[in-house]
Amino acid sequence: MVDFNLLQMQCRGRVITPADDDYDGARQVWNGSIQKRPAAILKCAGSADIVLGVRFAADQGLTLAVRAGGHNIAGLGTCDGGLVLDLRDLQRVRVDPVLKRARVQPGVTWGVFDREAQAYGLATTGGVMSTTGVAGFTLGGGIGWLMRRYGVASDNLRAAHLVTADGELVAVDGDSEPDLLWALRGGGGNYGVATSLEFELHDVGPEVIAGPVIYPLDQARDVLGEWSAVAPSLPDDAMSIAILRTAPPDPPFPEHLWGHPVLSISMMWLGSPDEAASALAPIRSLGRPAVDAVGPKPYVAQQSSQDRYWAPGAQNYWKADYLTKLDDAAIAGLVDAAAHFTSPLSDIKLATLGGALARTPEDFSAYGNRGAEILLNINTRWDEGDGDGHIGWTRALWTELHRLASGVYVNFLGEEGAGRVLQAYGEEKYKRLVELKRRWDPENLFHVNQNIPPE
């Protein structure tokens, strides 16, 4: 029996166990389908608590999980019977508007980050939901609205402090441990626990041109075909995401479409507002939209516009792939699946890639599949009850489209096995990641992740 009082006596933060009244609340993660029961949760109050927690888990032979935002679809911020390092109280953000850098603690979410950086008209690539944690998002790559202009989040990671498997705090940057920095840019939580992350910032906002163009489903096949043909050739300042979903009873969705499946082409323009109309015309002029809600809005509003639809607690199951293209059969399959959603909370997202993401050399970072053209993410979500029907719907659509796959984004993986992790990186990068794992975590203490074992 592990005596967690020994850990509590060393730490400033609180150790929560099943004996505590707030244990059930503390153990919950974003995905309600994940219901694990750790032996203890350490609410870290500072970097020293992270060091002590890592050492304690190693000394006691405990499974160790790290929760930052807790938004991971596979629930990798928790575990059964082990120790969870809960970093959510570590919320400091320091922005240097002169150097255009931001240093953040690992509990920060993108909503907090964006509000601080936007005070100076600055930003870096963040998630499409502001409730997503900065740390896990970045360490897995980090796909978001700014990626065609500035690359993924990990491309903008310039330095970090990392607690390694031996409980030591290591400074990581391009001069000190450049190989480890390469691995942190997409290699996930395999190499340690980040106590801070430093990002390069860019001039963005505070107002951008953004919003959705919404179509009834009977136009979706034609519009999706045209969108997939023209969207990749848009300027790097333009980003678009096609979303098949059930229209919620909220503006800007028109009332006559509420409760019906629709296609929404959401977009953002980062360039001069005077150039937005002509730059976005190739995708705003498609079909006969029910609503065109594209216009000026605060960057932080666009970043948080999906939050209310993806609140914590619901059950979720996702399947994802990078796709080489969308052919007619794929588009027909997508539209048919949307016509038969098993839950009104589910959606199917297709994001155009390219731009700076593709121009960055493949060997710049561990993040893989830079040449992919489209990111597919099938998001199934339901409130309660048996998930078999929802999961079956998801798997059927994914299986139909997988013939077009060119890899997978590691942050969208569930518990899908070692072969899928390999597909996220490719053989050459995976081999390098394994070599670094042998050096930094030879006993695989950090294995509650999309694991790269020290083979």
**Does one domain contain both 137 and 219?**
no
pLDDT in the model for residue 50: 98
Q: What is the pTM of this model?
A: 0.95
The DSSP code for 315 is: E
pLDDT in the model for residue 386: 86
Q: Are 333 and 397 in contact (CB under 8 A)?
A: yes
pLDDT digits (tens, 9 = 90+) for 153-209: 999 999 999 999 999 999 999 999 999 999 999 999 999 999 999 999 999 999 999
CB atoms within 10 A of CB 222: 15
**Does one domain contain both 183 and 227?**
no
The domain that holds 78 is classified in CATH as 3.30.43.10
**Does one domain contain both 345 and 385?**
yes
**Does one domain contain both 45 and 97?**
no
The domain that holds 324 is classified in CATH as 3.40.462.20
Provide DSSP, 213-230.
EEEEGGGHHHHHHHHHHH
Let me know if residue 422 belongs to a domain.
Answer: no
Let me know if residue 157 belongs to a domain.
Answer: yes
What residues make up the domain containing 276? 207-412
**Does one domain contain both 119 and 234?**
no
The DSSP element (H or E) to which 147 belongs, if any, is helix 147-150
pLDDT in the model for residue 385: 84
**Does one domain contain both 219 and 193?**
no
pLDDT in the model for residue 346: 97
Main-chain dihedrals φ then ψ at residue 4, nearest 5 degrees: -75, -10
Residue tagged 């969108």 (tokens) = 227
**Does one domain contain both 318 and 334?**
yes
Region 319-334: mean pLDDT is: 96
Per the structure, the count of domains in the chain is 3
**Does one domain contain both 216 and 197?**
no
